[in-house]
């Protein structure tokens, strides 16, 4: 009975949710955006951390594997650049690659239809298409500016600056720029601004 009681107690404890990055996100970056651009040592390093691009991808990868893979890619693609610059460019590459996937193609259609501001209002479900743990909140400051909070930035806010800039550009915003405002635990807050699309 004691063993059963312990099992019941353990079952009642909160279970930490496993954090996963979905296959199409990995495919979009490492095959669509970066295909042919990574060095042989980088490809080998990716395989060692669990992403073997010579084989079919898994349905999802742990957030830890994803973070390690991003560090490998940033170091390989942008050697000698300041970390902020390399991570920002990598964030842009993630979005540029994602648009070539089935999920990303649907995102492009929505972004084009809505425009930058309305698209950012949908930022949280957009980000949740990539993984199961990143969340966001958007506060509108004006027709061409928002303050964005993201709950998890992997200690690399520049990566999410690049992502936000690419997402706004995807929706037609010109001169998109995301400025890091502050860290909030594992998350961060950004100011996102852009110019209105040119009238057709």
Structure tokens at 87: 């991570």
* Residue 130 forms part of a structural domain: yes
Domain assignment of residue 181, yes or no: yes
- What long-range pairs does 39-44 form, CB within 8 A, spacing at least 24? 39/76, 41/76, 42/72, 42/73, 42/75, 42/76
pLDDT of residue 45: 98
Query: What is residue 17's predicted lDDT score, i.e. its pLDDT?
Result: 75
Residue percentage of the chain with pLDDT more than 70 = 90
Nearest residue to 180 (alpha-carbon basis) of 62, 91, 55: 91
State the pLDDT at residue 196: 86
pLDDT given at position 7 = 39
Quick one: CA dihedral 5, 16, 184, 134, positive or negative?
A: negative
Residue 77 lies in a domain: no
Answer whether residue 18 is part of any domain.
Answer: no
Condensed to tens digits (0 to 9), the pLDDT of residues 120-160 reads 999 999 999 999 999 999 999 999 999 999 999 999 999 99
Whole-angstrom distance, CA of residue 104 vs CA of residue 75:
26
Residue 165 falls inside a structural domain: yes
pTM confidence score: 0.88
CA–CA dist 112, 169 (Å, integer):
10
Residues of the chain with pLDDT under 70: 1-16, 199-200
Total number of domains constituting the chain: 1
The CATH number of the domain holding residue 114 is: 3.30.1380.20
Q: Looking at residue 86, what is its pLDDT?
A: 97
Full residue range of the structural domain in which residue 145 is found = 102-195
3-state secondary structure of 46: helix
Q: What is the pLDDT of residue 1?
A: 39
Q: Is residue 75 part of a domain?
A: no
């Amino acid at each position: 009975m004691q063993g059963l009681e312990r099992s019941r107690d353990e079952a009642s404890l909160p279970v930490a949710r496993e954090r996963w990055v979905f296959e199409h996100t990995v495919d979009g970056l490492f095959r669509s955006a970066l295909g042919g651009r990574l060095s042989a040592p980088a490809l080998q390093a990716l395989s060692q951390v669990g992403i073997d691009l010579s084989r079919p991808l898994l349905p999802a990868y742990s957030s830890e594997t994803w973070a390690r893979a991003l560090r490998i890619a940033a170091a390989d693609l942008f050697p000698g650049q300041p970390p902020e610059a390399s991570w920002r460019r990598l964030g842009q590459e993630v979005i540029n690659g994602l648009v070539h996937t089935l999920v990303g193609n649907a995102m492009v259609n929505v972004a084009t239809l809505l425009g930058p501001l309305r698209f950012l209002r949908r930022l949280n479900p957009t980000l949740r298409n990539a993984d199961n743990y990143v969340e966001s909140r958007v506060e509108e400051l004006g027709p061409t500016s928002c303050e964005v909070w993201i709950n998890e930035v992997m200690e690399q806010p520049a990566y999410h600056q690049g992502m936000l800039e690419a997402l706004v550009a995807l929706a037609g915003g010109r001169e998109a720029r995301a400025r890091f405002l502050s860290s909030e635990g594992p998350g961060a807050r950004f100011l996102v601004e852009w110019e209105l699309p040119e009238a057709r």
